[in-house]
Copies of this chain bind each other. A is one copy, B any other.
């Protein structure tokens, strides 16, 4: 436990928000100074969004300690900012994901992707992730030969690149516009005043550990309830074919089946941020589970981008065929992410705290 031991809940929350506001303003300055350095600008935007998400999350979880109208208003503005800034990055990573997948499906990528394995965790030792699972000594993957992309895959790649580059350019302009707007300056002003001028409610006078702990627990309960609603038993059965079950349906059922997973992703984030207020550092298991759900979201969005591209008028059948394969591939990544999350979650809930 940190210095929150003897502080009031309001003081501890103000301290955390002060740190995040500092990060927010520092990222903003770096972004302004980045100029032609696009990598620097992207990193500054990422950092800005990270701080904005944490501030917004704290305003949500610890809302009873704050002036609710003020908290809700700032949260809405931070949500607008995050969404606007996130779009450009999302377009870039979607394009990379889809072109990587096309290259893998064409047998032209040198190394096959291991799906949904963002970070090796502590020794889980499950059968599925057992040692040597990818060992080349066992025959391993089929060796790649520099097989040419089929015409369809090449055209599908070009079509996706065109569409996503256009979307990214638009998102970039929108982000620049947002950062120069009066609306943004008002947000930045509010963030600057966060630590010094936090409008607290009476409950904030209570002891930090107890009051913050109770509110964080309530957030955790919302997360656990949402996870309990997920079809984890089905997800635990590999190759259950659930993610693609409406892959050709005309109704939006596919998106509907994704929604509860996206909601768990959101609640897991809130839970992680709430834990940060109580104690510094991130829980590696929660962090990993969050990454898996990020993959879930990215694959779902990418599969939709492939389906959307296939609705382009006058494309060749070979292009449409490649986009169909790509769509199904990404829906299987969605299913793979669900399987991985289910494993993470089982370990997280079964494990005793690491020494």
Contact = CB atoms under 8 A, between A and B. Distances in A.
Contact of A130 (B139, B236, B257, B333): B236
Given A138-B231, A325-B327, A128 B320 contact: no
Interface string A244-266: 11111111010011001000000
A127 B319 CA distance: 40
A114 interface: yes
Interface in A130-163: 130, 132-135, 138-142, 145, 147-150, 152-153
Q: How large is the interface on A (under 10, 10 to 19, 20 to 34, 35 or more residues)?
A: 35 or more
B115 A240 contact: yes
Contacts of A152: 248
Contact of A241 (B139, B324, B329): B329
A300 to B, nearest CB: 14
Contact of A104 (B104, B112, B133, B245): B245
Contact of A253 (B115, B138, B145, B336): B145
Given A112-B241, A317-B316, A323-B324, A249 B329 contact: no
A19 to B, nearest CB: 39
A133 B232 CA distance: 8
A105 interface: yes
Interface of A: 102, 104-108, 112-116, 126-130, 132-135, 138-142, 145, 147-150, 152-153, 229-234, 236-242, 244-251, 253, 256-257, 260, 310, 315-329, 332-333, 335-336, 339
Nearest to A314: B317
A92 B190 CA distance: 69
Contacts of A126: 127
A243 to B, nearest CB: 10
B245 A105 contact: yes
B106 A325 contact: no
Contacts of A139: 229-234, 260
A320 B316 CA distance: 9
Contacts of A230: 139
A10 to B, nearest CB: 39
Contacts of A236: 127-128, 130, 133
Contacts of A333: 239, 241
Contacts of A133: 233-234, 236-237
